[in-house]
Structure 1
Amino acid sequence: MSEPPLNYSSEEELFKLRRALDEANRRAESLQTELDEQRSFTEALLGTTPDFFVLKDTDFRYRRVNEAFCRFMGKRAEEIIGKTNEELFSAEDAALYPGWDAEILKNRKPLEGNWHIVGSQGRFWCRVKKMPLFDAAGQITAILCIVRDISPIKKEEIEFERLFNLMPDMACIASSSGYFTKVNKAWTQMLGYSEQELLAVPYINFIHPDDLAATKAKVSRKYSGQEGTLNFVNRYRASDGSYHWFEWNSASIEEGVLYAGARDITERIEQGRQIRLWADAFRLCAHGIAIGLPETNQVLACNEAFARLCGRSVSEIEGAGIESLYVPEDRETVMSNIRTVDRSGFVSYQARMFLADSSTFFAQMDVVSVRGDDGKPMYRVVTVQDITERLKSQLALRKSEARCRSVVQSA
């Protein structure tokens, strides 16, 4: 009796099946190992990171938290899992969370922002990012919340903001698009605009039309790197329509950002204008004017009219001793009057002054002593008139009157 023939095809398929099964087992073991490694890495990451990682379900209950969050709360994980914000936080802080969580469920999009919340070690600033997690069917199964402590950065920002707004001068940050991106409070106080008004329009809208071209050229050179420190003066329009003179000084530009400070020099410009007016009046006055120093009794300055009276140049008069301008016989009288003006503030007297050729003329001196805040004389201002002809006329008049009286008496 013969044996049935072997079915080699079946054995071959069985062998292939076993090989495939072995390969599948090896791949499953490899995937499990990889999964274990990823889980271990994730656990290590979540356990060592200073950031908070929180997982909530769609009922807003905590399902998983990392060590950093437990330390922040001052609680163990089992004391947090299953609870809601209302059970863990103050009413004020708890009110922040449901709104965000509900918005994520509604819009199915992440949210990010800064929060100021209270933990076991007090209130701190944090950067919060929340995002929905989806299953294979596209349904939201959980909300992942990642929180980073930004208190040191926020503290620096707050300190910068406080210092920025305490600056008496105007400070600003401007973009290459021609807009202010940040201004301090000095701007609103000086020009009368709100911060929103200053940021809403290009800053050239505030510049005096006559200063536009020069300002644009300066800023353009700065942005192109052709100019280091930017220093210039222009005029800015205030909310009441008046213009203020600003003196600008800029810092370096980074990524198209201009950091600059401006000082209001309107009063200085006006004072300069007044000084020029008084200087012109001093220089062009027909009466001789001189300024003397009490400490040295020397002439500090004089105008052209004073120098012409003395027959000398201004440079020859300035620095000269006051006594040297008078005849020796009148010097004691002059110095006595100077001592009087330092006490009383004003004196008027007559004296004979020298010309360059040593001839003399009679002068009317009106002297004012100007005192400082301490009450001490700072300088003296004298106006001088040549009264020689007037005295001659007076003398001639007196002689004429005397002759008339003599004629009348003899008659």
Structure 2
Amino acid sequence: MSNDSAEVLSSDELLSIFKTVIMNSPDGIITVNEEGIIIFSNPSADRMFGYETLRGKKIDVIVPEGLRDDLHQKMRDYRARGEHELAGKVFETVSLRADGTEFPVEMSLNPSRSQGRLFLTSIIRDISERKKMELEVLEREEQFRDLFENANDMIQAVTPDGKFLYVNRAWKKTLGYTEGELENLTIFDVIHPDKVDECRELFRRVMSGENIPIIETAFITADGEKVFVEGNVNVKMSNGTVEYSRAIFRDVTERMKFQRELERMASIVESAGDAIVSYDLDGRIMDWNRGAEEIYGYGADEIKGKNVSILMDDEEFERLRGLIEEVKSGGVVSNFEAKRIRSDGETIWVSISMSPLRDFEGNIIGVSTIARDITEMKRTEEALRASEEKYRKIVEKFIQNALALISEINR
């Protein structure tokens, strides 16, 4: 016999091998006759169902009561036709332990015939742990699904060709597209036209595996509105191939509008002819616009951080401290006139309005002031008063002389 010839085993040797395999199998193995009596069970089956031995017992003892009628009907059909409808199939069902507890099993049925009698051999696997793990996975998936669906941020998954695999509720609510509409759209159909070219390049980079931590772009809603977003995008890889990209975006449209409004207001403040100055409650200067530079003569860099008292004498500063206390209580001071000292030492007159400066929580943290240079107006007023006084004295003198003359005439 050649070395590569298969060794022929005797029937006794084969029987010994099969017996060893069956008796040491981790799966339960039982055989029932056509009357439903268990005529064989291996140790794993006995342990699985909690019996010292299952041999001699009716198959009903391992079948929950609710499934027994179906079992009996199938056994009757098997006896009548010699065939079993579940033969050769692997299926899941529920079995019953000796202590009355039910547990899930995976089972296969193998019918056989010997000396005119019918038998059914079942291979049974306890899948309790597997079912428990599957349930945990399902619960975890449900938790994540609930988290994604109820997240305030927009979450999306997109295939390499731009098709949508998933979008969450916030995504649909923000952009207004329906599930039916999304089936016929790609990611580039919902990118605002201003951003399409930029996003195509970003998409190419992401799909090549590049990690881009922060992306700022804009979507277009179903109604044609522009929505600014920021977020991050990465990809799911499998065997070196990109399956899909996943992204989380936050709607920052209101923030962008607020920033633009701030920029607009800052531009107005910076270009205003009036001096717009803010300082904390101790008088340290925080903000100083170009108008303040023109009126007071100090550059913003040289005066920020210094005390506002640099602009006035002691008497004016004491007066200001009293007004600051009024503002600290939430009051507004409008158009009071005060003297201030420029960087070159010149004294000027200003008309000032003061209002509270608040933080995001509404706490008063300082004072915001708007001042207008009224020096020329004050000079004009002073000149007018001097002129009025001069003419008043001339008129009074004229009247006095006229009265004296009339008095002389009447003598």
Q: Same fold (TM over 0.5)?
A: yes
Measured in 2, the distance between the counterparts of 1:246 and 1:66 equals 64
Match of 1:161 in 2: 142
Residue ranges of structure 1 left out of the alignment (5+ in a row): 1-25, 57-61, 99-104, 136-140
Match of 2:188 in 1: 204
Match of 1:250 in 2: 233
Aligned to 2:10, which of 27, 30, 36? 30
Q: Are 1:218 and 1:230, in contact at CA under 8 Å, matched by a contact in 2? A: no
AA in 2 matched with 1:178: G
Match of 1:300 in 2: 286
Match of 2:341 in 1: 354
TM alignment of 1:121-270, pairs within 5 A: 148=127, 149-166=130-147, 168=151, 169-194=153-178, 198=182, 201-225=185-209, 227-251=210-234, 253-255=236-238, 256-257=242-243, 258-270=245-257
Q: Does residue 272 of the first structure (1) align with residue 255 of the second (2)? A: no
Give deviations 1:251-278, integer Å, cap 9, x for gaps.
Answer: 4532213333222222222222222112
Give deviations 1:359-383, integer Å, cap 9, x for gaps.
Answer: 1211111111134577642121100
SS in 2 for 1:297: coil
Match of 1:363 in 2: 350
AA in 2 matched with 1:254: M
Measured in 2, the distance between the counterparts of 1:63 and 1:177 equals 61
SS in 2 for 1:249: strand
Residues 64 and 222 of structure 1, relative CA distance in 2, 3 Å threshold? farther
Measured in 1, the distance between the counterparts of 2:39 and 2:166 equals 43
Measured in 1, the distance between the counterparts of 2:126 and 2:206 equals 40
SS in 1 for 2:211: coil
- The TM-score, its normalising length taken from structure 2, stands at 0.68
AA in 1 matched with 2:325: R
AA in 2 matched with 1:236: F
Residues 112 and 373 of structure 1, relative CA distance in 2, 3 Å threshold? same
Aligned to 2:59, which of 77, 81, 86? 81
Residues 30 and 54 of structure 1, relative CA distance in 2, 3 Å threshold? closer
State the shift of 1:171 in Å: 3.4
Match of 1:345 in 2: 331
SS in 2 for 1:41: helix
Q: Are 2:157 and 2:166, in contact at CA under 8 Å, matched by a contact in 1? A: yes
Give deviations 1:47-66, integer Å, cap 9, x for gaps.
Answer: x14xx89999xxxxx99999
Residue ranges of structure 2 left out of the alignment (5+ in a row): 1-6, 33-37, 75-83, 114-119, 400-411
For these two proteins, the number of residue pairs brought into alignment is 359
Aligned to 2:273, which of 280, 286, 297? 286
Mean CA deviation greater in 76-85 or 202-211: 76-85
Measured in 1, the distance between the counterparts of 2:96 and 2:227 equals 50
State the shift of 1:195 in Å: 5.5
CA RMSD of aligned residues (A): 4.7
Residues 389 and 183 of structure 1, relative CA distance in 2, 3 Å threshold? same
SS in 2 for 1:341: helix
SS in 2 for 1:253: strand
Q: Are 1:127 and 1:150, in contact at CA under 8 Å, matched by a contact in 2? A: no
Give deviations 1:85-128, integer Å, cap 9, x for gaps.
Answer: 8844599xx9xxx9xxxxxx99x998999x9x89779898x897
Question: % of aligned pairs identical?
Answer: 21
Residues 312 and 230 of structure 1, relative CA distance in 2, 3 Å threshold? closer
Give deviations 1:226-252, integer Å, cap 9, x for gaps.
Answer: x23443112223344433222222345
Q: Are 1:65 and 1:81, in contact at CA under 8 Å, matched by a contact in 2? A: no
Residues 250 and 298 of structure 1, relative CA distance in 2, 3 Å threshold? same
- The TM-score, its normalising length taken from structure 1, stands at 0.68
Q: Are 2:154 and 2:168, in contact at CA under 8 Å, matched by a contact in 1? A: yes
Residues 172 and 153 of structure 1, relative CA distance in 2, 3 Å threshold? farther
SS in 1 for 2:144: helix
Aligned to 2:371, which of 376, 381, 384? 384
State the shift of 1:355 in Å: 1.8
Q: Are 1:128 and 1:147, in contact at CA under 8 Å, matched by a contact in 2? A: yes
SS in 1 for 2:355: strand
State the shift of 1:321 in Å: 0.8
AA in 2 matched with 1:237: I
Q: Are 1:362 and 1:387, in contact at CA under 8 Å, matched by a contact in 2? A: yes
SS in 2 for 1:254: strand
AA in 2 matched with 1:385: R
AA in 2 matched with 1:272: Q
